[in-house]
Amino acid sequence: MSQLSKIFTRASTGMDAPLVTIEVHISGGLPSFAIVGLPEGAVKESKDRVRSALMNSQFKFPNRRITVSLAPANLPKSGGRYDLPIALGVLIASGQLKPKLDMTKFEFFGELGLDGLLRSTEGLLPAIVKATNNQHALVIPKDNQHQGALVETASIYPCGHLLEVCGFLQGVSTVEKSQVDVQSSVIYDKDFSQVKGQYYAKRALEIAAAGGHNILLIGPPGSGKTMLSERLPSIMPPLTTDKALERASIYSVANKPLSLDDLQTRPFRSPHHSSSAVALVGGGANPKPGEISLAHEGVLFLDELPEFPRHVLEVLRQPLENGEVHLSRAAQQTTFPANFQLIGAMNPCPCGHFGDGTAKCHCTEDQIDKYHSKISGPLLDRIDMVLDVPPLPKAVLLSQSKEQIESSETIRARVLSAYNRQLDRQGKSNDQLQPDEIEKTVPLDKENTQLLEEVIDKFQLSARAYHRILKVARTIADIGNSETVDKQHLIEAIGYRRNNNA
């Protein structure tokens, strides 16, 4: 006599989590254990973990022909997340487990230790979201329960052992639903009150934070480029619940630990200049998010920008325009979100001292041109603002007065006001405006049109550069609580672009 059982779980394919039905069939014949349905190495090894986990949990392993089907059969399966549902399927099909709960309303996840302990599973948050949308409850390892903190309507039952799951399904024992409180307050260790001087750079970063603009800082070593950039997240608007959930899903898929206290803070990623193109955009046989996706809704800071290989920088061009990255591999195609702000920092010349008022620089004009040419024109065209960060005067550096230094909280209040103005007007930040939307939000009178004509002719601006000037001007007007974009707003925006074409 043969027995059949069905258990639900989900696969992990990028940001998606398609439903997987695990069917376990036990029949007569020579003892065997076969797993079918495109299982990869870790899934094939599941049968050995399941066998030991069952035996060490005082269950009998059926000495018969066992066939486990992972449907749909054309979807690749990877990882140890299928151990628990396979073990439950074997127990139900062999008659050792008779659930009193409706198994069609549950999804199961977890890797099994040889002693039956449940171990954490990577990339689980997208599965929690999809299961909750389908009104399914979830049984997951205790170590993963914090991942469902942002999914308010999720029914999650965290368990630590196979026996605990079996007792829960049979109604012998109870498992408390996961309840995790997310911290609503956002605390930043790095504050703009720690930065002396550099008021022009602070103003530019305030504009960048309010409108989501890309920015390039150029200055000699020690002028404060890195210090300023690291504090940009502290003045950016906090993440909404939906965006925080999307960010947490990316970190879950990448198997990166993310504290609950950091869920609503903007990410700040600063990869080393030796990073590869795959490290930046993501990839691999089973595609994982790269640095630009880990910086989603936050900041990607590239220090020593010209030191990055040129072909590595070029991979940023398409994500900067579209806000997402498409990865195509032989087995699957995956799309990861990548709506980040690019903040670059570089020296004015190879030695770093050109134009700093000292006689240290001995770089030739050809060396300086070669150094700047490491950054391609198309990439520069996608950077909204370029500004010089001069060395700090010693009088400012030695000053002990902090009365006139604004804190991040003060600047963030102005940024948030400008950001909310954009949401009320167009439902998104200024950097995401399309050309036709720009024309509606930034109407130009005759004087401003003539000014822009002169700028386009003088700097040979592309259409993209022209639209980016208008976006920055719109943000400057929003910070000043102005309904219209006036000449002074355009002049300031052109000033940030002028360095880009010098």
- The enclosing domain of 166 has a CATH number of 3.30.230.10
The number of distinct structural domains making up the chain is: 3
Residue among 249, 259, 250, 374 at smallest CA distance from 305? 374
pLDDT attached to residue 500: 57
> Per the domain annotation, does 377 fall within a domain?
yes
For residues 202 and 155, state if they share a domain. no
pLDDT attached to residue 359: 66
**Structural domain boundaries, residue 232:** 193-394
Write the secondary structure of 192-227 as one string of H (helix), E (strand) and C (coil).
HHHCCCCHHHHHHHHHHHHHCCCEEEECCCCCCHHH
Q: What is the DSSP letter of 233?
A: G
Give 181 or 414, the one with higher predicted confidence: 414
Band (pLDDT 50/70/90 cuts) for residue 401 is low
**Within its chain, how far is the Cα of 429 from the centroid?**
18
- Which residues, at least 6 apart from 488, have a Cβ–Cβ distance to it below 8 Å? none
How many residues belong to the chain? 502
pTM of the model: 0.89
Where among 136, 170, 204 does a domain terminate?
Answer: 170
> Per the domain annotation, does 180 fall within a domain?
no
* Rounded-to-integer distance, Cα 87 and Cα 120, Å: 16
For residues 18 and 101, state if they share a domain. yes
For residues 362 and 218, state if they share a domain. yes
Q: Average per-residue pLDDT in the chain? A: 90
- Which residues, at least 6 apart from 398, have a Cβ–Cβ distance to it below 8 Å? none
For the residues 300-323, what does the mean pLDDT come to?
Answer: 94
Indicate if the pLDDT at residue 111 is higher than 90. yes
For residues 483 and 360, state if they share a domain. no
* 282 in Cβ contact with 290 (< 8 Å): yes
Band (pLDDT 50/70/90 cuts) for residue 257 is confident
As beta bridge partners, residue 283 has: 288
Indicate if the pLDDT at residue 290 is higher than 70. yes
For residues 68 and 103, state if they share a domain. yes
Indicate if the pLDDT at residue 331 is higher than 70. no
End-to-end CA distance of the chain: 82
Indicate if the pLDDT at residue 332 is higher than 90. no
pLDDT attached to residue 502: 44
For residues 481 and 337, state if they share a domain. no
Residue among 29, 25, 33, 36 at smallest CA distance from 3? 25
Indicate if the pLDDT at residue 34 is higher than 50. yes
* 476 in Cβ contact with 492 (< 8 Å): yes
Where among 341, 370, 394 does a domain terminate?
Answer: 394
Residue among 169, 81, 73, 65 at smallest CA distance from 125? 81
Does an H or E element contain 34, and which?
strand 32-36
For residues 256 and 325, state if they share a domain. yes
> Per the domain annotation, does 8 fall within a domain?
yes
Least confident among 33-47, 152-166, 169-183, 471-485: 169-183
Q: What is the per-residue DSSP string for 64-115? A: SEEEEEEESTTS-B-SSTTHHHHHHHHHHHTTS---SS-GGGEEE--EEPTT
pLDDT attached to residue 402: 61
Does an H or E element contain 4, and which?
strand 3-10
478: exposed, middle or buried (C-beta count within 10 Å: 0-12, 13-18, 19+)?
Answer: buried
Percent of the chain with pLDDT strictly greater than 70:
96
Least confident among 67-71, 249-253, 392-396: 392-396
* 2 in Cβ contact with 66 (< 8 Å): no
Q: What is the DSSP letter of 9?
A: E
